[in-house]
Amino acid sequence: MFAIIGLVVVFGAIVAGYLMEHGNIRVLLQPAELIIIGGASIGTVLVANPLHVLKEIASGLAGTFGSSRYSKERYTNSLTMLYELLNKARREGLVALETDIEEPDKSALLSKYKDFIKEHHAVDFVCDILRMAVSGGVEVFDLDQMLEGDMDVHHHEATQPVSALSTMADSLPGLGIVAAVLGVVITMGALGGPPEEIGKKVAAALVGTFLGILLCYGLVGPLAARMGKATDEERAFLNVLRVVMIAFLKGIAPIMAVEIGRRAVPGHVRPSFKQVEEACRGAKAEAAAEAAAPAAEPAAG
């Protein structure tokens, strides 16, 4: 939402200032210049990037116009989910989690957390950690190092669309100059004609430079920066999951492991100690009630 508002402010302020100086808005409408600059910039992206990066650019751009996936509520729910999962492992042993981690979408525990289940990479991240913990044979330190490497690889892949879009933004001023030079070439061919016609062609050539700079610093560059922040948010979320899981595997109690993970949450979306504690207590009480219900049915019968 804020991305849309920002773009409206950028283009609105430029057009408003231009009109205040009694500029003719029709002069800025140069479809040929836009085709030259836009088409050439899209072509450079197609040349420089494989298909999977192009798909990620498209999905990343769509995501920039929505709100962040990693809100305070999301972190609270994720920490609560980890508490439930680790508390079950502490009570019944890690082997008891096999049914949950092999088919997480069918797990009674994990399927309650819809946002987590929808994010396949986070699900695989947590389940793979627990699979290795169940199988044993890997020291916690080595597992932690492996997870850091996994996060680095994923973050590198996630930043490739950002780099591609940033490169496109960097090329736009140069392509604007290309459009302007072509306009000057056309103008030179019209020398000797009516002064009004020459003036229109010079204006069209200058609009090419204007569009290249505007699209770079007013549209594509900011969108690339926003996509980069989204990838950083995802890495921060995965890091919280890693911190909680590693703390538990070191022998720390689930509630304390969750608190260690809470301290790793970025400050602007970090839930308070009380919020997480109350959420974990509620989940614990709900789990106890569900466990007591089947036991009460045979007794009633």
38 against 284, higher pLDDT: 38
Average pLDDT value over all residues in the chain: 88
Per-residue pLDDT reduced to its tens digit, 62-87: 888 888 889 999 999 999 999 999 99
Determine the average pLDDT of the residues in 132-156: 89
pLDDT of residue 275: 92
Average pLDDT over residues 113-128: 89
Q: Tell me what the mean pLDDT of segment 17-40 comes to.
A: 88
User: How does residue 205 score in pLDDT terms, banded at 50, 70 and 90?
Assistant: confident
- 286 band by pLDDT with thresholds 50, 70 and 90: confident
Which band of pLDDT confidence, cut at 50, 70 and 90, is reported for residue 292?
A: low
168 touches 220 (CB < 8 A): yes
pLDDT at 202: 85
Q: Which pLDDT does position 293 carry in this prediction? A: 59
pLDDT tens-digit series, residues 146-200? 999 999 999 999 999 999 999 999 999 999 999 889 888 888 877 777 877 888 8
pLDDT of residue 41: 92
Q: What is the mean pLDDT of residues 230-252?
A: 93
pLDDT over 90, % of the chain: 53
Among 5-14, 30-39, 139-148, 288-297, the minimum mean pLDDT is found in 288-297
Give the residue-averaged pLDDT of 212-223. Answer: 93
**Over the stretch 38-54, which tens digit does the pLDDT of each residue have?**
999 999 999 999 999 99
Rounded CA gap, 239 and 241, in Å?
5
CB atoms < 10 A from the CB of 161, how many? Answer: 25
Task: Give mean pLDDT, residues 108-136.
Answer: 88
What pLDDT is recorded for position 66?
Answer: 81
Identify the pLDDT of residue 213.
93
- In angstroms, the Cα distances linking 205 to 36, 182, 201, 221, 253 are 12, 7, 6, 23, 68
Do residues 134 and 94 touch, judged by C-beta distance below 8 A? yes
Residue 287: which pLDDT band, with cuts at 50, 70 and 90?
Answer: low
